[in-house]
Amino acid sequence: MTEQVLDSQDDFLTLAGPYRRELLAHCYRMSGSIHDAEDLVQETYLRAWRGYANFGGRSSLRTWLHRIATNVCLTALEGRSRRPLPTGLGAPSSDPVDDLVERGEVPWLEPIPGGSLGDDGRPDDPTDPAAIVTSRESIRLAFVAALQHLSARQRAVLLLRDVLQWRATEVATALDTSTAAVNSLLQRARAQLQQAQVTKENLVEPESPEAQALVRRWVEGFEKYDIDSIVEMLTQEAVWEMPPFEGWYRGAEAIGTLIRTHCPASGPGDQVLLPTVANGQPALGLYMRGEDGQHHPFQLQVLDVVGDRVVHVTVFFDTELFALFGLPEHP
C-alpha cells in the first residue's frame, strides 16, 4: 500500500508541474501580490501532493488543482487587508506641489513580471485553457487592482466564472455552496467592477513596434531629463500614481509639475532606464545616480499605452522588485 501511494505522488510531480504558471496567475489575481502568490502556489502543490492518492480522476487535474488553489487563497485572505493602489483609496487627485505622504503600513498591490507569464516566445492559443488563464487581459494591472474592490469570495467566483470559464455548478462544488449563491456573488462582483470603471481599452502590447518606439522615446526623455517631452507622450487625462505614497495625479501638466517638484534628478545623466515587462504591459526599471556616482535601483514604472500615448503610469518604489524582474543591481 505504501509503495502505491509513493508511486502516485511521484506521478503527481510529473503531471502537475506544467500547471504551475497558470496557478501562479490565479493566485496572483486573488492576492494582488507576487510574493504571496508564490507562497500560495507552494501550499497548493503541497496539499495536492498529499491528497493525490485520493484524487481518483473525478475531474481533470487542472480543475482539481485550481479548486485547491482557490480554497488555499480564500483561507489565506481571511482577515487580511485588501491591496489597493492610491487611486483605489477613494481620495481625489492630489496637488503635485504638495509634500508626498508615504503610507508604509498599507499592503500595496504588487506588479508581476512578464507578459502572459509564459515568456517562452510561443503564441497564445485562444482555445488553450492555460492561455486563457494567463492572458494579458486577465493580469492587466488595472484589472487586478479592480479585483481588490471585491471580497475574497466574490473575487474567487468572478475569476472561476469569467476567467477560468467554469460553469456555475462547478464553482458551487469547488466553494461548497449553492449555484444560486454563486450566481448572486457573480452578479454583485460584476456590478462592483463596473463601478470601479475598469475599461477595456486596447492597450498596446510591449512587443509591438508602436510600444517599443514609445518606450525608446520615454527612456530618452528621462535620461535627458527632458520633462516637456515626457509630458507630450501623456494624454491630457493621464494618471500617475506611486505606492507607497498615497497621492495620485491626473493630467499631463500636473504630472510634469510633479516630476519637476519631487524628482531627485537634476539634469541629464542622473537617470538610466532599462525596459522590461510587467502584467503584460511595458515597464521600466529606473536607476538614479547616487552620491557615489553609480546608478542604483530607484523605481519600477508600469505603463498603460493606448495608441502612441501613455494613459496611466504606476510607479513602484519597492526596489526588491528589480531582482524579481531580472533587472541588474546596476545598469
Q: Let me know whether 171 and 319 are in one domain.
A: no
Cell numbers found for residue 143: 484589472
Rounded Cα distance, 257 and 273, in Å: 20
- The 10 Å CB-count burial string (b at 16+, else e) for 175-211 is beeeeeebeebbeebbebbeebeeeeeebbbbeeeeb
Q: Which domain holds residue 61?
A: 2-88+108-195
The total number of structural domains that make up the chain: 2
Q: Strand 309-316 relative to strand 271-278: parallel, antiparallel, unpaired?
A: unpaired
Q: What is the pTM of this model?
A: 0.90
pLDDT of residue 120: 37
- Of 134, 162, 195, at which residue does a domain stop? 195
Q: Let me know whether 23 and 167 are in one domain.
A: yes
DSSP label at residue 277: E
pLDDT single digits (tens) 264-288: 999 999 999 999 999 999 999 999 9
Q: pLDDT class for 327, splitting at 50, 70, 90?
A: very high
Q: Let me know whether 145 and 237 are in one domain.
A: no
pLDDT of residue 197: 63
Beta bridge partners of 113: 278
Report the pLDDT averaged over residues 307-312: 94
Domain-located, residue 283: yes
Q: Let me know whether 64 and 20 are in one domain.
A: yes
| Confidence check: pLDDT of 2 > 50 | no
* Residues 6+ positions from 216 with CB-CB distance below 8 Å: none
Q: Let me know whether 172 and 251 are in one domain.
A: no
Report the pLDDT averaged over residues 127-156: 80
pLDDT of residue 193: 86
pLDDT of residue 134: 54
Q: Which of 254, 278, 257 is nearest to 286 (CA)?
A: 278
pLDDT single digits (tens) 63-90: 999 999 999 999 999 988 899 999 999 8
pLDDT of residue 121: 35
Q: Let me know whether 145 and 229 are in one domain.
A: no
Task: Check: CB of residue 153 under 8 Å from CB of residue 172.
Answer: no
Torsion angle of alpha carbons 264, 270, 274, 280, nearest 10°? 20
Name the 3-class secondary structure at 303.
strand
Choose between 251 and 192: higher pLDDT.
251
Q: Let me know whether 284 and 183 are in one domain.
A: no
Report the pLDDT averaged over residues 189-203: 77
- Of 195, 225, 244, at which residue does a domain stop? 195
